[in-house]
Amino acid sequence: MRDLARSDLEALVVELGDAPQRARQLWRAMYHELRESFDDMTFLSTPVREALQERFVIGSLESVYYATSEDGTADKALFRLPDGELIETVLMRYAPDGHRKVRRTVCVSTQAGCAWGCTFCATGQQGFRRHLSVGEIVSQVLFMERIARAEDAASSEGGRRSAGERRGVTNVVFMGMGEPLANYENTLGSIRTLIDEQGLHIGVRHVTLSTVGLVPQIVRLADEGLPLNLAVSLHAADNVTRSETMPVNRRYPIEQLVEACRTYIEKTSRRIFFEYVLLHGQNDSVEQAAALGRLLRGVLCHVNLIPVNPTGEGPFQRPTRACRTAFQQTLRDHGVPSTIRMEKGIDINAGCGQLRARIAGGA
């Protein structure tokens, strides 16, 4: 049922013999009120409810594993889809940091597996199996929304909030299993559902879409009229180094990628986030930092430096603290802003694809 766009849902309800406003009530019931059963939707006529029950299910995720990190800042869920595929979703909690309120960010998957084969990524080591539907993507957020709302209700401050402040899930990042822009239509469809004001109403500027660098899709996204955050996985400043860990670079080399990013910035006036996973001995030297600084000088961007989350099959280790600091200082010297981001939930296999690999492998 969650695969349907709002306009399609309205057409369906009218086809089944109910009024258009009932479709709006149904939409709100599924996405704002988080109802899971048509039996609870008594605003629909009995024949319509029965017809919907015969043809649809509201959600199709089966939670088969759930864990919370020791520090309580990250939860990870493993879901089984109706065809047996396993996907992962992460809920990350952030305390206020001076200029931002409490945040709960959900990291969603858009594919079962991934075809792009990045050597430091557990999902990339598993291969591609299929795209997720709009409903399968959206349902991951709704699952975590229930948990977030329960936490709000249990909190001593759960009943108090400032005007305009959203509780529950505040941010969504498309950084889980799969390449979002390779599943373009379903990814964009899920975003439009999540930001709909009659549903969860996640602010579009609180949505981040990550890509390995699919150049045509980046250019296409620039014309969608969605002022979301675009995060581009870069991980090297030259083609030789990038191609060693990211096979996509052989199809879309750095020069094409940076030009597409400039086009995106020009059309949207939005800053781009470049993701740079620091791989010890591979891309974390001061010389490589200087090359990155030269590449991105003058680009409206911010670099997220991410010490690698080691995988069982991957060859890479985390850089030392001194190495991370020197890398960031070199970027600063070139006028490129950056943040060193530590991964959450390492103790619960929160890195993309790690939990699926462990469960599927019988560990």
Catalytic residue chosen out of the listed positions 10, 85, 88, 179: 88
- 31-75: pLDDT as tens digits: 999 999 999 999 999 999 999 999 999 988 999 999 999 999 999
Helix, strand, coil shares, percent, the chain, to 5: 40, 20, 45
The verdict on whether 352 is a catalytic residue reads yes
Identify the residue whose tokens are 């930092």. Answer: 289
Number of Cβ within 10 Å of residue 205's Cβ equals 13
d(CA 53, CA 26): 13
Which domains, ranges and CATH numbers included, belong to the chain?
Answer: 6-55 (1.10.150), 62-360 (3.20.20.70)
**% of the chain surpassing 90 pLDDT:** 79
- State how far Cα 49 lies from the chain centre: 33
Name the nearest CA neighbour of 132 among 66, 203, 82.
82
Other Cβ atoms within 10 Å of 211 Cβ, number = 24
Phi, psi of 78 (to 5 degrees): -115, 125
> Would you state the pLDDT for residue 48?
95
pLDDT above 60 for 360? no
Residue 158, token pair as written in the block: 């759960």
State the DSSP string of 130-161: EEPPHHHHHHHHHHHHHHHHHHHHHSTTTT--
Find out whether 250 and 278 touch, Cβ atoms under 8 Å. Answer: no
* Span 88-147, pLDDT tens digits: 999 999 988 766 788 999 999 999 999 888 888 877 777 889 999 999 999 999 999 999
Q: Is 15 a catalytic residue?
A: no
What's the rounded mean pLDDT across residues 250-274?
97
* Given 107, 118, 301, 352, the catalytic residue: 352
pTM of the entire predicted model: 0.90
